Chains A and B, each alone.
Chain A
Amino acid sequence: MTCQTHRLNGTGRCLNRSKPISFTFDGKRYSGFEGDTLASALLANGVRLVARSFKYHRPRGIFTCDPHEPSALVQLRSGARQEPNVPATMVELYDGLEATSQNRWPSLRYDLLSVNQLISPFFAAGFYYKTFKWPAKFWTSLYEPVIRRAAGMGRLSGSIDPDTYEKVHHHCDILVIGGGAAGLSAARAATQDGARVTLVEERARLGGFDSTGLEQDIAALKALENVRILPRTMAFGWYDNNTFGAVEQVSDHLPVPAPHQPRQRMWKIVAPQVILATGAHERSLSFGNNDRPGVMLASAAERYLRDYGVRPGSRAVIFTTNDSTAGLAEALRAAGVTVAAVADARNGDEIETVHGRTAVTGVTLRQKDGSRRTVDCDAVCVSGGWNPAVQLLAQRGQKPRWSDNLQAFLPQEMAGADFLFTGSLAGLEAREDCQTHGRMAGEAAGKRFAARDSASLADYHSYLEANEARAAKFAYFESSTGKSKKFIDLQHDVTAGDVSLATREGYRSVEHVKRYTTLGMATDQGKTSNIHGIAAMSKALDKPMSQVGTTGFRPPYRPVSLGALAGRSRGKHWRPILRTPLHGWVEDKGGVFIESGLWHRSQYFPKPGETMSQAISREVQAVRSAVGFCDVSTLGKIDLQGPDAAAFLDRVYSNGFAKLPVGKSRYGLMLREDGIVMDDGTVSRLAEDHYFITTTSAESDSVISHLEYCHQVLWPELDVVFADAGEDWAGIALAGPRARDVLVRIAPEMDVSNAALPFLAAREGTVLDGVPARLFRVSFSGELAFELYVPSAYGRPLAEALEREGAEFGITPYGVEALDVLRIEKGHVSSELNKFTTAADLGLGMMMSKKKDFIGRALSSRPGLTDPDREVVVGLKPLDPSHSFRQGAHITARGAPLAPENDDGYITSAAWSPTLESHIAIALVRRGRERVGEVVEIIDPLHGEEPVPATIVYHHFYDPENARVRS
């Protein structure tokens, strides 16, 4: 373990020196203290080189003390918890922390790809677009993979993240974003009228840049009942209706989350009023080799000294344009650091270039009179001024405005109906100014909460206007001389020369230059670089900064993990799992489930040793020869009542229902307005003004919505009410020649004889000795069949009773696969209702009433839908019964060349029919009904299968006379 060579004695207000911490970086063990960040601990141990740059693999160190650190990105943890591209400045140190450098091979110090620096002249802006143009196919197969491997950052583990993430919704009256001096003042003032105030702060501690002296303010704020403080929470997005996205790093500062704790929690915050106190980001300056390890923002150097007791070096040079560095020289000297030189650009002094490779060894200063001198040093502290953190406001659509006085982009609107801003975001610098104006903003927001429009913003505005009028910041961004690379975007290795090149090549828009050079497109989103890109454009185009403008800002403000966005909706919970009332029974019976939409339905019930196809065939044969039952609870069910119910149904369905007698069911066909079939199902009349409707499983929700639309918009005068009863009833189809024998035992209270309960009869009664039931004699299988509905809580008892009472008759449960085979054999349409077919296409033209109007009637007669060339439903049988084909295979006339114009249709349903001992299919075939008897070819080039000759037949393969359903 190394000793902390750069740690100062006594200082470091964030540290708990009684708690030493051990951690590793690139496998080497170091020590730090509780309260350290990884960056401060590495600096304390004298580690300067921590990363390699994105493109040129240049050595990089720690540049900031901020979340938007552009250089010191590391890979944190290992194994499944490995996380790439984490700013070392944001990692709170914990015992056993494991960090590694990234984007280097074989080691950080000796990185082979640092050779890129030597050929960097070829890597100028846009070199990808100019160089890798041809051959085109090489882009995806060669160029892109190689480039991605050479340039990049950390790597994901490839394993499933073992931690959890969650979401939480939060509402408050006033949201304060930023916990610095201004935010604290604003939050406290905002509470005075009783508003619920929430303050989010992305760091672990409140107080902002310097919390010295704010302890009492923080304690007082925490004591208020109507304030909620969310530390370690970064507001990343401002969305419509003042909804904010924020991520709380619940456990990122721990080795592993505590039991039942998520790693991160995403907050969706809704706040009618928001006060932005997001602060400002210190900017660097553009000079030669300004990326060398040891070059650091001045504010970072100050904070490492004060908060972490770490000196950035032994001999420092300060390069500044502003007064914020006024105390730095003294602070460095107090820490025992020699201040070798102070280059103040306002006096005409500047750093021309930095010397050293993996660490700063000196600088060349160019003085006002043009003379140069070399100064030995191991640290360079830079301040080019401050950029207000306008990103969140800009997400709202605001284009920031340039202030010549402040030499910064400021929010364009000083206040909105639902937002105020304050602090250094507003261009204020002195703590007293931030506190005073923060209080004004807080009081105004509080008054707006208490009585809208009652707050005067006169003082709020005049304070900012006076501050801006007073300001006279020095305009300086780039040293005037020097041949070394001057980086403006450290994370993406973009130089001032790249921007200049882009403008020479004709790029004029800041948005285009951004994309051509990739300036500001890295994970820090240009927080330390955009302004220099704009300045470089301003210089190259000879346009003022205000005319160059800024790029747009979109969420997220900082990178957000996908886990936080997904929350609990991952793995099997990525969407809901719907279970039928028979789910548990199916599981107990060894049934295999299949996902059908959101439903988990029983697919088939294999016996030991059976294959899937054997099980399906056995189930089909049981229904054809004896009796089977199938869970049909997923069907949509609608309870429709009211004096105008019959009239309503008449308008909704293409066939008539007004004359449907009480106690009868009828197949119903529903069209869309455009004449295309929407859904089918049964309608049963339980009483004069009471109907029970079933829909397909897939369309139940859309049919309900459709009916709501019809009632609320089209025919509000009709007195009907209806409810989605889908959850209320468990449904079982009982089918087969022995179905009645079983039913007699299940429903002894009901007369189920053919005379009393003929085909399409509907009854209410009881089963299982008193359980309310609805019984409909309808058939999807083509056999004598009944659909039986009981309250959902009786679904399983009914299944158990059927199994028990039907045993004597060979009853067999069957799943949706057998159900499908049965209906294909019978020729019932199902997947043929594919949003393209008409009633006539489906062979259901006779269900289009000519005696009444209904939805879809008018447009169903338009030429496109009555074209005789349309594809219509027919059956297909292969000449050789053993030849199979798949759903989706296409049909051509025999001998016709394989060409789109010869495509005569496609198969919509296909199955092996154990009843017919042949493969069969239902297909949509052009002029199909005129072609019955024709031998066509089934082609399936996607699966590389040989054409199969098949005969077009009527699609009612089984019992076309309908004798069995009436038996």
Chain B
Amino acid sequence: MCAAEARPLFCLEDLELTGIPAAGPAGVEVRIVTGTTMLRIMPFRDQAAAAGAALAPFGFTALPAPGRFAEARENRLAWAAGNCWHLISPRTAPALEQELKQSLAGLAAVSSAGSGLLRLQISGTAACALMAKGCVLDLNRFAPGHCAISLMAHTRIQLHRCADTEFGLLIPASHAASFWEWLTMSAAEFGLAVQTTAAAVLEDGDPLPAALSA
């Protein structure tokens, strides 16, 4: 047996991942982020504070409040449901999972969630206009650092407001193809640029490739 290679974009197979040109610069840029490890943290009863404190090795001292996410070093810690947080990191899965399980032993359940979610970063001058086509939230009050579980294009998504004109989306893999088609149709009027990039590149702050596939 030879080692198998993961198919990080399995949920978008057979779809056009190219952009849609506009007269000027694309109003919407979508980065399909691969190479991310996403771990689910679910504190046991009365252990949320202790679990948060135990995340110091990962750069955090507490679990963010519901509806918020925090960033430290290369990691993001985001509230994901009533009693569930996601640690999102560019580090490789097995080692990170092992380390996290050790840190949270007896405090929280840890499980891997990354393979089942498509991660998109949506930015650009028309990012808010695009999001408004699918998202019921008041985006003016959904400030950077906020996150939400919401519904877009029939799909239950996790939404992170990363900056004024940048959003992070976590989309269930089974819905991803359907969601992608909605996304491209809805973004077409603004011009759409698509880029597939590894999380590590983004998180390290390296410059993005100059040419997006518009």
Contacts and interface: CB of A to CB of B under 8 A. Distances in A.
A247 to B, nearest CB: 15
A643 B44 contact: yes
Contacts of A270: 138
Interface string B117-148: 10000000000010011111111110000000
Given A568-B153, A579-B177, A642-B44, A728 B116 contact: yes
A793 B173 CA distance: 10
Interface residues of B, number: 59
Given A723-B42, A748-B1, A260 B111 contact: no
Interface in A771-820: 771-772, 791-798, 801, 805
Contact of A794 (B2, B7, B14, B117): B7
B133 A167 contact: yes
Interface residues of A, number: 59
A578 B178 contact: yes
Contact of A573 (B42, B135, B181): B181
B132 A260 contact: no
Contacts of A580: 174
Nearest to A576: B154
B45 A578 contact: no
A599 B172 CA distance: 13
A568 B94 contact: no
Contacts of A722: 42
A719 B13 contact: no
Contacts of B109: 639, 641-642, 690, 721, 723
Interface stretch (A209-217, A535-543, A581-589): A581-589
B133 A166 contact: yes
B161 to A, nearest CB: 14
A260 B116 contact: no
A727 B4 contact: no
A770 interface: yes
A769 interface: yes
Interface string B160-189: 000000000000111111110110011011
Interface string A544-583: 0000000000000000000000001100010111111101
A268 interface: yes
A728 B4 contact: no
A801 B111 contact: no
A169 B83 contact: no
A469 interface: no
B5 interface: yes
A196 interface: yes
B116 A727 contact: yes
A636 to B, nearest CB: 12
Contacts, number: 157
B111 A584 contact: no
Contacts of B188: 259-260
Nearest to A772: B94
Interface string B181-208: 1100110110000000000000000000
A891 to B, nearest CB: 39
B103 interface: no
Nearest to B15: A584
A267 to B, nearest CB: 9
A549 to B, nearest CB: 37
A168 B132 contact: yes
B95 interface: no
A721 B186 contact: no
Interface-centre pick from B83, B109, B181 (highest chain A CB count, 10 A): B109
A746 B2 CA distance: 10
B189 A261 contact: yes
B76 interface: no
Centre residue among B1, B45, B141 by max chain A CB count within 10 A:
B1
Given A169-B132, A721-B44, A728 B112 contact: yes
A429 B44 CA distance: 67
Contacts of A769: 1-4
Nearest to B176: A579
Contact of B185 (A164, A578, A805): A164
B62 interface: no
B189 A578 contact: no
B178 A797 contact: no
A728 B42 CA distance: 16
A734 to B, nearest CB: 15
A473 interface: no
A725 interface: yes
Given A728-B116, A792-B116, A792-B173, A260 B20 contact: yes
A768 interface: yes
A794 B8 CA distance: 8
A801 B154 contact: no
B154 A575 contact: yes
Interface string B61-95: 00000000000000000000101100000000010
Interface string B37-56: 00010111100000000000
Contact of B8 (A169, A569, A583, A793): A793
13 contacts: A168-B129, A568-B153, A584-B10, A584-B14, A641-B42, A721-B43, A727-B173, A745-B1, A791-B6, A791-B114, A793-B8, A801-B1, A801-B4
Pairs of residues from A and B, 5 with the lowest C-beta to C-beta distance, nearest first: A727-B116, A584-B13, A641-B109, A171-B138, A791-B115
Given A169-B135, A170-B132, A793-B10, 5 more contacts: A579-B174, A581-B7, A581-B11, A772-B112, A797-B4
Interface of A: 164, 166-171, 196, 259-261, 268, 270, 568-569, 573, 575-581, 583-584, 587, 599, 639, 641-643, 690, 719, 721-723, 725-729, 745-746, 748, 768-772, 791-798, 801, 805
